[in-house]
Structure formats: structure tokens, C-alpha cells
Amino acid sequence: MAADLLQFAFGLIKVFWLLLPAVLLVKLLRSRRCKGWLGERRVRRAVRRQFGGADCRLFSNLLLPTKDGSTQLDHLLIVPQGFFVIETKNMRGKISGGRQERDWTQEIGGQTRSFQNPLRQNYKHTKTLHELLGISEQQIFSLVVFVGSNSFGTPMPDNVVDLDGLISFIKARKKRLFSPERIEAAVKAIQAVRLQDSFRNRRRHVQHVRAIAAAKQRQQQPCPLCGAEMRLREARQSRRPFWGCSKFPQCRGARDA
């Protein structure tokens, strides 16, 4: 009797250890990060298949410097017909949103969550490219591609496509805007300015954004002596920055920067 029970317990433990990796794997595959990665891989493969010629260049996970840190492009396809900046969204459920709206929504399993309008997110990417490379904004096309089993609750805004729509959108541009030399020069410029997509760079970017926010907050705090606004100044000898009262020299209120 006791032996049976023991055997049963061992059986349970065995099943548990067999199931655990499967459960963890399913959890991992359903995580947002993994979905993002899988979605990006699908897009990369589809684009490579269609645009693999000598005059086509594809960058994926392109981290570019901006004035206030960095910005990450999922994909940048460069072909003679233009620069295509592609933002990938791997999402299920019903998606709703308009071109001008700040936030879009995803309805899934009776729950609704909002996320940043990806067209706005991608606008920063096209602007960065325009500023870094001097390419006209009319020659840069912003595209948001939705992969995964989803549908739109509102009409899909322009420049928002599925995987097939992405390919046909690019193929529909017939006019050649760039010579092979121009493309080569742009590729060289990107290779020179791009940041390594390393853990360190991503962490540095996050720290940088936080530092800006903290500095802004300190500036908004008034002078501890008279309540006037503070200005960022530099110590005369040590050259160390500090917040000084805007009423200086009448007031000598100061705070560390």
C-alpha cells in the first residue's frame, strides 16, 4: 500500500519534470519580447525573399543616434524606389486606431489595452534618417506592418499593412529615386553612424533618458532661498555645473546639478 503510494508520488514528480520545460517554452513563446522577435524575423524573411537584388539593402534592428539618445528601427529597406522604414507589430485580437490618435487599442479575450500609435513611433525614425542622411522626407516611406492573427476594428489607416500589403506597397513604387552610387553612399553613412545594438548601448540609452527627466525635474524646483526660477550655470573655477538662482547676484541660492 505504502509502496503504491510512493510509486504514485514518484510518477507525479516525473510527469511534473517532463511538463515543466514544455510549460516554460510555451510561456517564453507567448512573451511580448519573443513575439516581437518572431514578428521581425517573419518580416525580414519576406522582404529578403522579394528584395534580394544587388541594389537592395536591408538593415534590421538599426540603432541610430538622436539628439537626446538613440532610436531603434525594426527594419530599413533601401531600394532605388526609396527608403522604407518598417515598424513591426506582432499582435493578436482586434486592433483599432486612427492616423492622428495618440494611442491605439488592442481587444483580446474580453480585455482592452492601449499602445502608442505606431505611426507616431515610426515618424521619429523617418525624421532621424532625414536628419542623419539628408534624405528628403518625401523619399522616406513609413510603414507599419501587422503580423499575427489580428483584424482591424477601424479602417486600416494609410501606411498600415499586413505582410502581403507590405510587399505590394513597396512594389507599387515604380519611380527610381536613387542611383546605385547614392544608395552605396547612404549605406556607408549608416554604417558609420549606427550604434552597436548591444545590451550596454540599450542600457545607456535608458539611463540617458532618465537623466534628462531628472534634470528637468530639478530645474522646475524653485530657488530654496527666494522661490525664483533656477538656471543651469557653471562654477567659475571647478567648471562644475550647478543650478543657480535666476535673481543672482541679488540672491545666491544654489543647488547641485
Binding positions for Zn ion, rule: CB under 5 A = 223, 225-226, 228, 245, 247, 251, 253
Residue 74 bridge partners (DSSP)? none
Q: Which amino acid would we find at residue 91?
A: M
3-state secondary structure 150-219: EEECCCCCCCEECHHHHHHHHHHCCCCCCCHHHHHHHHHHHHHHCECCCHHHHHHHHHHHHHHHHHHHHH
Residue whose CB is less far from Zn ion, 163 or 228? 228
Min CB(223)–Zn ion separation in Å:
3
Cross-strand partners of 90: 147
User: Which helix (DSSP H) or strand (DSSP E) does residue 128 occupy?
Assistant: helix 118-133
Q: Which CB atom, from 9 or from 225, has the smaller least distance to Zn ion? A: 225
Cβ proximity to Zn ion: between 133 and 228 the closer is 228
Cell of 166: 507590405
All cell numbers assigned to 200: 550596454
| Choice between 41 and 247, CB closer to Zn ion | 247
